[in-house]
Structure 1
């Protein structure tokens, strides 16, 4: 009888909710000073679809920070860890998934790479279970060099880069090479991040006016990204070369491998519910 009772108690502990991880999801935007990233950066369609992959779909947060600053700046990484810490406390999160886009991946990598930089960092590092990085600018972009040099891109890419901000300077190819070799982990030849950093790579831009797929996330953006792609590698999303997007962590997939209709994801489309991207992420988490 004692053995039977003991086994029953062990069984109860095994299935007790107290022993189960509470998973949360944070949407971390890219370059820009956001005050309403839900509507202005991600859209509620995308966020509400992806969060259904959680056991408790209310365990999510949308970050709003000033990512026009350098990644170590208080307005950038400081703001990020503050909001994540509040989310963790409010929801008792002990398994945190970070879904990032573009430069948001660099700011997350800064925190994971430098856990002793700030007393607030360890809490976030310890809670983080993995990062899903959509089109991360891990190795920078030649377009940031162009904007910083003040040529034609400064006006044509203002909607995407936020003009000549510190974050844009940071994403210059040479600058990111320096950061990757000194301050940041996760790239070739450097220590690992200690957490899975899974990337989704956008490989092309479609802007054919007769193709309805070109209108997902705004046709005007596809046209602009098709133009800037002329200054990038043949494999690029109109803002980042594929080599930059895959420079840190491991590639989860390159767009056409999994998207509906094997459609490419431009840099704009990789933060939208285009070609079942939201479903792929929802099922993955």
Structure 2
């Protein structure tokens, strides 16, 4: 399906006339240096080499501790994306989101009349590659809001009792999906492709070659939290949530090097060839 869409875009617009760009949209948190602190330069610089002009990229830094529709979240994202596409003349934009960044991006795609900048952004997007999106929320957000042990153990990954964490509770996301967001079952489709990369497991065994990419300590933490999730999860999100909106692109082990799995932390790193997959997609 993705190949058909790409061929249609090529035949319709012609690659000669398109200026292709890529945007990296981080997940929950208040980021001021997502290039280094969230994605790392190794990931960003590897992926952007797939562009005809490798300088046509932007790394978003926004206040994704807020509700998705606020000025600090969707408003900030819209401002940075709109400035990028207008200043660079980008008319073929691939957006790469991670985790809650998929929700903020989906808000823009679902509510084009909310902000005057949204239509131009939507018109410029080829598709969104949503890596481990929290489209249906996570039980761990419910646990954090209840103030139990997860609040301390997940601070490095999810944050604490912020509005963004509150928003990602499962019942809250169910309400948003039913009333404000497009792309989930029974709702109208999103105006552009929203393609999900799903992380299916966490490996933290000391002798596991899967455990060390991105930092061993993070794998240990996610292995613990995975005990409160379905068998198919990346330690933070269940697979059903990651594939809850839009369309499935692939489960991690379908395409990664040596059929490796991607934890929620590893799916924002250049682990097991993920960066090459995203680069080739540009």
**Which residue is 2:188 aligned to?**
191
Would you say 1:72 and 2:69 are equivalent positions?
A: yes
CA displacement 1:50-89 (0-9 Å, x = unmatched): 0111111110000000000000010000000100111111
Q: What SS does the corresponding residue of 1:98 show, helix, strand or coil?
A: strand
CA distance in 2, matches of 1:247, 1:210: 33
CA distance in 1, matches of 2:15, 2:167: 43
**Which residue is 2:117 aligned to?**
120
CA distance in 1, matches of 2:15, 2:265: 40
**Which of 150, 154, 178 is 1:153 aligned to?**
150
CA distance in 1, matches of 2:19, 2:231: 42
CA distance in 2, matches of 1:89, 1:184: 26
* Deviation of the 1:150 alpha carbon: 0.5
CA distance in 1, matches of 2:278, 2:248: 14
CA displacement 1:102-137 (0-9 Å, x = unmatched): 000000000000000111211111111110000000
Q: Is the 8 A contact 2:210 2:261 kept in 1?
A: no
CA distance in 2, matches of 1:30, 1:66: 10
Stretches of structure 2 that go unaligned for 5 or more consecutive residues are: 1-10
RMSD in angstroms over aligned alpha carbons? 1.4
**Which residue is 2:254 aligned to?**
257
**Which residue is 1:9 aligned to?**
none
CA distance in 2, matches of 1:62, 1:208: 33
**Which residue is 2:40 aligned to?**
43
**Which of 266, 270, 282 is 1:269 aligned to?**
266
**Which residue is 2:223 aligned to?**
226
CA distance in 1, matches of 2:72, 2:174: 23
CA distance in 2, matches of 1:127, 1:211: 42
Q: What SS does the corresponding residue of 1:158 show, helix, strand or coil?
A: coil
CA distance in 1, matches of 2:91, 2:225: 41
CA displacement 1:160-184 (0-9 Å, x = unmatched): 1111100000000000000000000
Cα distance, 1:93–1:142 mapped onto 2, change above 3 Å? same
Q: What SS does the corresponding residue of 1:132 show, helix, strand or coil?
A: strand
**Which of 97, 103, 107 is 2:94 aligned to?**
97
Stretches of structure 1 that go unaligned for 5 or more consecutive residues are: 1-13
CA distance in 2, matches of 1:221, 1:19: 43
Q: TM-score, normalised by structure 2?
A: 0.94
CA distance in 1, matches of 2:127, 2:263: 24
Q: What SS does the corresponding residue of 2:58 show, helix, strand or coil?
A: strand
Q: Is the 8 A contact 2:74 2:105 kept in 1?
A: yes
Instruction: Look at both structures and tell me which one has the larger radius of gyration over its CA atoms.
Output: 1
Q: TM-score, normalised by structure 1?
A: 0.93
* Deviation of the 1:213 alpha carbon: 2.4
Q: Which moved more, 1:206-215 or 1:137-146?
A: 206-215
Listed as ranges, the matches of 1:170-209 within 5 Å are 170-209=167-206
